Amino acid sequence: MSHTQKTVRQPARKLPAEWAPQSGVMLTWPRPDSDWEDHLPEAEAALAELTAQISRREQVLISCDDQTHQRHITTLLTTAGADHAAITFQFVPANDVWVRDHGPITVLADGKPLLLDFTFNGWGGKYAAELDNHLTRTLHSAGVFGDTPITSSRFVLEGGSIDSDGEGTLLTTTSCLLGPGRNLGWSRQQIEEELRETLGIDRVLWLKHGWLAGDDTDGHVDMLARFCDANTIAYTACHDAADEHYPELNAMAAELAALRDGDGKPYKLIALPLPAARFNEDGKRLPASYANFLIINGAVLLPVYDDKNTDAYALAALRAAFPHHEIVAVPALALIRQYGSLHCATMQLPQGVLA
């Protein structure tokens, strides 16, 4: 007597584009006793302005230490003109602010949100990350995401290392995903299969070139090149032959020009200028990038760097790329002191994740 084994169909997955409707945005607030200590007031002012802009358009979930920390942050948000009705706090331990990399990546499984909790190892073991690696699970256990299901993975993946067009194409860099610090021993083919299975991706576009001085992520794509729609990519460009970035960023521009969209056509490319060099007290160049913008409901929040030559140019370029969004400049000089910017400090949650 034979028995036919019934195959259980796996829900079809899709990784939404950042411009898909959102329920909210996550932030992890900096702690006083952290690497931010020397520049905390400036960093908090930048994050308060960022939060205020988001709160006028959708919900904000802020992870912080305790009630004392919350009261301090609330005062800053009041000064920035935030909509407090749109802001929720959760007390959860954390190592750093970069929730783009330690927060959940949300896919749609048969159209319903599913949180993916990938492993975060401090960008290849460079920094302590144990608290950050547990943050998403801690928030989920606290009921922050309602009845949205979650699945965890031992695969190391950071949200800043990938960018989705919402139609099955993923943009990433070989320097990060194929580097030895994340998934040692995994081949490019194995990594592509993992991305297809977990994220519902059809195509992976790899950039071999592209680099920013001061970037400690091994080349996160959200500092280099971003989808603006399924046929348009904005990218960090360098036109100064004397700048140290000139060879790599021009090689990346050539790579982008050779890529094809899902219809087999060249992408429309929008060059974002490289801001003037900024350095920390030790003379280390900081990774200022306009590509680290955040797309939210109805607006694009653009990091600006007090550069009279390039800030306005970048704003105009993004207005052309996002004709149906308001483009809002948010000062980000204080954030690049710890080697990230607006996109790095936020993680969007698609519609249906937050109540």
Q: Is the pLDDT of residue 304 over 90?
A: yes
Q: Determine, yes or no, domain membership for 6.
A: no
Whether residue 64 lies in the annotated active site: no
Q: Looking at the domain assignment, is residue 244 inside a domain? A: yes
The DSSP letter of residue 273 is: P
CA gyration radius for the chain? 20
Q: What is the sign, positive or negative, of the torsion defined by CA atoms of 291, 276, 258, 268?
A: positive
- Domain residue limits at 275: 13-350
Q: Is residue 208 part of a domain?
A: yes
**For residue 2, is it within any domain?**
no
Strands (E), the chain: 13-14, 22-28, 59-64, 87-91, 105-109, 112-119, 150-156, 162-164, 169-173, 203-207, 225-229, 232-236, 268-272, 294-296, 299-304, 326-331, 347-350
Query: Residue 187: its pLDDT value, please?
Result: 97
Residue-wise pLDDT for 39-63, tens only, equals 999 999 999 999 999 999 999 999 9
Share of the chain above pLDDT 70, in %: 97
User: Among residues 64, 228, 238, 344, which one is catalytic?
Assistant: 344
Q: Establish if 158 belongs to a structural domain.
A: yes
pTM above 0.85, yes or no: yes
Q: Is 137 inside any structural domain?
A: yes
Number of folded domains that form the chain: 1
**Domain CATH number, residue 173:** 3.75.10.10
Residue 1's pLDDT is what? 47
